[in-house]
Amino acid sequence: MPDNDPQTQLVKYLTDVHSIEEQAAVQMRRAPDLVEGAFADAFRKHLGETESQEQRVRARLEAHDASPSRLKDVAGQAGGFGMVLFARSQPDTPGKLAMHAFSYEHMEVAAYELLGIAAREAGDEATSALAAAIADEEREMAGRIAAHWDDAVEQALARVEPDDLGDTLNTYLADVHALEGQSKKLLEKSREMDVPEALRAALDHHLAETEGHLEKIERRLDDRGATPSAIKDAMLRLGALNWGAFFAAQPDTPAKLSGFAYAVENLEVAAYELLLRVARRAGDEETVALTESILAEEKAAAKSVADQWPVSMSVA
């Protein structure tokens, strides 16, 4: 069969989501050790769901006389360990874990929504129904994480003295500046890719917003007598360039790009949710107002990208 045959594409998307579940399982097994209380319980609950999801996806692969991709699964597991190690290495481990787990759940939502489209194109109603059901489960987990933003910040700042809250707030501002720089580079790189006009318009619109976010965050840091982190900015910009090269090499660039962009937007949503709570604790109303404004734009951008999944898949 040719690579763009609906059945061939469906099996590829099934192997993709299987590797994503393998990565998620690694994260879910270790995440409860990094946080406390009900927040840890949310990860424990999702481990059981994740294991069930892996088994259900594997069954759909077997129904197509296919099997998981060993290479993809190993890469996924390695990525899971990497995320946990990164979170553990940070001084605000609970916050970083919440932020990246929230983004990962939305990456899974995107993957299953795209799988559902591929399944309908291939006439596979069973896989379409499975994709819809698991996408809803991933949304529920993202909601559980969001319900614990306050817990994540409380646990992350447990050892921060009140007099040090200002410096901590500057660190969180530098973090979102680095994320915005990464987003800007990825959005600029996407202009070199062949994507549907509607997706191009959504990405270009958010590129303009992102440039504005960078300027506003820089001014806020300056007003507070602080500066962006050159190291964080450079590392995340490099990551965006690597992502851009990866997507450009994919046969289904528009679909992969739209799914990943959705996850990146939700990473930024999470970062601003955390920043908002740190700013409130620090009593910085100007940063609170700025964060609320940008947060609304990030949520709208995520929805705008998600709206383009059908057309992105149609040309993949």
Question: Within this chain, do residues 85 and 140 fall inside the same structural domain, yes or no?
Answer: yes
Between residues 65 and 3, the one the model is more confident about: 65
Q: What end-to-end distance do the CA atoms of the chain give, in Å?
A: 16
Write out pLDDT tens, residues 247-292: 445 556 888 899 999 999 999 999 999 999 999 999 999 999 999 9
CA angle 241, 290, 216 (to 5 degrees): 50
pLDDT-derived band at 103 (thresholds 50, 70, 90) equals very high
Kindly tell me if the per-residue pLDDT of 74 is higher than 60. Answer: no
Q: Identify whether 1 is part of a domain.
A: no
Residue at a domain's end among 109, 126, 153? 153
Q: Identify whether 73 is part of a domain.
A: yes
Residue at a domain's end among 102, 135, 153? 153
- Please give the tally of structural domains in the chain: 2
Residue range(s) defining the domain that contains residue 172: 161-314
Which CATH number does the domain housing residue 295 bear? 1.20.1260.10
Q: CA-to-CA distance for 256 and 78, rounded, in angstroms?
A: 20
Q: Identify whether 279 is part of a domain.
A: yes
User: Reduced to 3 DSSP states, what percent helix, strand and coil does the chain have, rounded to the nearest 5?
Assistant: 85, 0, 15
For residues 84-102, give the mean pLDDT.
76
Residue with tokens 């609970």: 94
Q: Identify whether 25 is part of a domain.
A: yes
Average pLDDT of the residues of the chain: 89
Question: Within this chain, do residues 199 and 130 fall inside the same structural domain, yes or no?
Answer: no
Write out pLDDT tens, residues 161-177: 999 999 999 999 999 99
Q: CA-to-CA distance for 207 and 214, rounded, in angstroms?
A: 11
Question: Within this chain, do residues 113 and 171 fall inside the same structural domain, yes or no?
Answer: no
Question: Within this chain, do residues 109 and 204 fall inside the same structural domain, yes or no?
Answer: no
Q: Of 73-87, 226-240, 283-297, where does mean pLDDT reach its minimum?
A: 73-87
pTM over 0.75? The answer is: yes
